């Protein structure tokens, strides 16, 4: 758990110094390929979400060859109502989508369950790519182009999505503003607003790269959690 907490605080630090390094550069960063190594194929995405009273760090990995997927999520809650200040969960989908692991923090310990899916699961159909699936979200109906400009020497497209209550009804208007790398279509940053607020109530920062995993260790990492075999849920998300 100590290493997991360290990752959270490093991510928090990265969020607050985000305006220093060029985050768009990270979109093109890949693990250096040594002589004799193959090109990295594991897609890796990190999302740092800053809310009013919380910070969440989510890391996801996807192997487009095997379909193996993993998501780590660590959250910090700065609220007197929070049962736990820091929570952690990990989900792994392996063996061609037939086996799933769910690991979570319980106090200072990690506990986990595993089961066989009744039907094989594929997270990123029909694209077979986490990156393409993420980029496709901003091409869906409702997103509108605001403009294009340069940010730290990189072309960025600004798009917006407005969710307003039906005319004549009472409710808040929620606005999402996303900044997309023109070369990849992947998000760099998202801001979330309510009504006419000038400050966002939430900000998401995105980082993408590809990594090597020749032994498949990324998808076998249980962080020392005790794993219990359980029956498959009636519904598998």
Asked, for residue 235, whether it belongs to a domain, the answer is: no
* CA separation for the pair 196, 99 (Å, rounded): 46
Question: Can you read off the two tokens belonging to residue 94?
Answer: 């392996």
Asked, for residue 188, whether it belongs to a domain, the answer is: no
Tally of domains in the chain? 1
Asked, for residue 73, whether it belongs to a domain, the answer is: yes
What SS3 state is found at 126? coil
> Which among 191, 150, 189, 186 is positioned nearest to 174, based on CA atoms?
191
Asked, for residue 9, whether it belongs to a domain, the answer is: yes
Asked, for residue 191, whether it belongs to a domain, the answer is: no
Asked, for residue 140, whether it belongs to a domain, the answer is: no
How many Cα atoms are found within 13 Å in the side-chain-facing hemisphere of 109?
Answer: 6
Q: Any idea which residue has 């980029």 for tokens?
A: 135
The boundaries of the domain holding residue 125 are 2-135+199-229
pLDDT tens track, the chain, 237 positions:
455 545 545 555 554 444 433 333 333 333 444 555 578 999 999 999 999 888 999 999 999 999 999 999 998 887 656 566 788 999 999 999 999 999 998 777 899 999 999 888 888 888 889 999 999 999 999 999 999 988 767 789 999 999 988 887 888 999 999 999 999 999 999 999 999 999 999 999 999 999 999 888 999 999 889 899 999 886 555
Asked, for residue 165, whether it belongs to a domain, the answer is: no
**Torsion angle, CA of 85/219/210/48, rounded to 10 degrees?**
-10
Asked, for residue 75, whether it belongs to a domain, the answer is: yes
């Amino acid at each position: 758990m100590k290493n997991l907490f360290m990752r959270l605080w490093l991510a928090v630090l990265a969020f607050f110094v985000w305006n220093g390094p060029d985050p768009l550069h990270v979109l093109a960063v890949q693990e250096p390929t040594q002589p004799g190594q193959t090109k990295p194929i594991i897609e890796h995405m990190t999302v740092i979400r800053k809310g009013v009273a919380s910070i969440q760090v989510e890391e996801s990995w996807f192997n487009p060859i095997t379909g193996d997927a993993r998501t780590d999520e660590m959250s910090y809650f700065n609220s007197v109502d929070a049962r736990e200040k820091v929570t952690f969960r990990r989900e792994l989908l392996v063996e061609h989508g037939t086996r799933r692991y769910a690991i979570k923090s319980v106090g200072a310990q990690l506990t986990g369950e595993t089961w066989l899916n009744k039907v094989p699961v594929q997270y990123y159909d029909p694209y077979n790519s986490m990156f393409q699936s993420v980029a496709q979200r901003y091409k869906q109906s409702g997103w509108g182009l605001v403009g294009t400009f340069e940010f730290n020497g990189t072309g960025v497209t600004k798009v917006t999505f407005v969710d307003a209550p039906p005319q004549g009804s009472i409710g808040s208007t929620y606005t999402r503003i996303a900044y997309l790398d023109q070369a990849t279509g992947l998000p760099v940053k998202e801001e979330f607003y309510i009504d006419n607020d000038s400050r966002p109530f939430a900000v998401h920062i995105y980082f993408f790269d590809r990594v090597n995993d020749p032994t498949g260790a990324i998808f076998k990492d249980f962080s020392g959690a005790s794993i219990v075999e359980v029956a498959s849920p009636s519904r598998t998300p």
